[in-house]
Amino acid sequence: MRSYEVLVSGAYFADLVFHGLARPVQPGTEVFADGFGLVPGGAYSLAMALHRLGRRVLWSADFGTDPFSAHVLACARQEGLAEGAFRHHPFPVRSLTVALACADDRAMVSFQDPVDAQPLAPLLGRLRPRVLVLPQLRWDEDTVVGLRAARQLGTLVVMDCHDTPATLDDPAVREALALVDVFTPNDAEALRLTGADGLSGLDGAIAALTALVPTLVITRGAQGAVAVREGERHDAPSVRSGAAIDPTAAGDCFNAGLVHGLLNGWSLPDCLAAATLCGAAATTAPGSSAALDAAELAHQLDRHLDRPLDQDQHRPSRATTNVGRTLHHRT
């Protein structure tokens, strides 16, 4: 077997999370939070959540000489994340977010020092992972080259949107999405990306996006999530794992649960159930600190589904299913 099943490519963030706000913060006002935490975020949350679920994951990220880099790097080492794709620079690589978390939503202000991302194609060629996870919609030339390399290698590509200012009016965005196997925006991002509004609403966004990507998974907050593949739609209700404290890492942990299910060959509805449970658990503590491990997820799935997990009908005998191509075991 290859050393790594999953390659996560994305920047770290140090999240300064103010949670338990009684009301949203408005300009010219001051609101006191019930709690505060400095927690690692960004692509760290995805990599760490997948690692806790028992996946062999490598995270490609950049670190500098600043205290935010040092904090996230220390947390990654404490979790036992592999460092084979870390790059260390002799200058600050600050990447931080201030998150203001109310009960059901949050606002964020972020800052990043510019640094050129590590090229994807050489990493993919060297590692040959079964899955590439990108936590943000990217359509730059290097990413498109990497996505094409992933397709040639038979690597499944899972991409989130992450509030990226882009629309399908840009041909480069459409070209990138056409090379993605699983796209996971939230409902607001899907509407903004497609320009769907009025009577078409979310159904219009789904139609536009499924014309480009084989599998679309849209998170809808308190309304749960929806997945569409080959014209078949699956809806999953939201779940509660406890008192919601901070939703900042819910989307990343949702994606980790989804990828975990895909690698296990579960049916799309069961992948969606695993994803919603992982996302819900993440809201019960600052950042991704409450991300589930594999045993906790299995226990929650047993109670949530009240039946055995379904294996995807598209799964071949010597491979794990994907949602557009085969995820081949590599020996």
The predicted structure's pLDDT at residue 312? 66
Token code pair at residue 80 = 């036992």
244-269, pLDDT tens digit by residue? 777 778 999 999 999 999 999 999 99
Q: Quick one: pLDDT band at residue 283, thresholds 50, 70, 90?
A: confident
Nearest one of 79, 203, 184 to 134, comparing CA atoms: 184
6-25, pLDDT tens digit by residue? 999 999 999 998 988 888 88
What span, in angstroms and rounded, lies between the C-alpha atoms of 43 and 61? 8
Look at the pTM and tell me if it is higher than 0.75: yes
Q: In angstroms, what CA-CA distances link 294 with 55, 164, 288, 299? A: 9, 31, 15, 9
Q: Quick one: pLDDT band at residue 322, thresholds 50, 70, 90?
A: very low
Burial of 228 (0-12, 13-18, 19+ CB in 10 A): buried
Residues in a beta bridge with 286:
none
Pairing state between β 131-134 and 156-160: parallel
Q: Tell me the CB-side half-sphere exposure of residue 281, using CA atoms within 13 A.
A: 26
What span, in angstroms and rounded, lies between the C-alpha atoms of 39 and 61? 17
Please give the residue that has the higher pLDDT: either 327 or 308.
Answer: 308
| DSSP, res 311 | B
What span, in angstroms and rounded, lies between the C-alpha atoms of 259 and 277? 13
Pairing state between β 327-328 and 319-320: antiparallel
Taking residues 97-105, what's their average pLDDT? 77
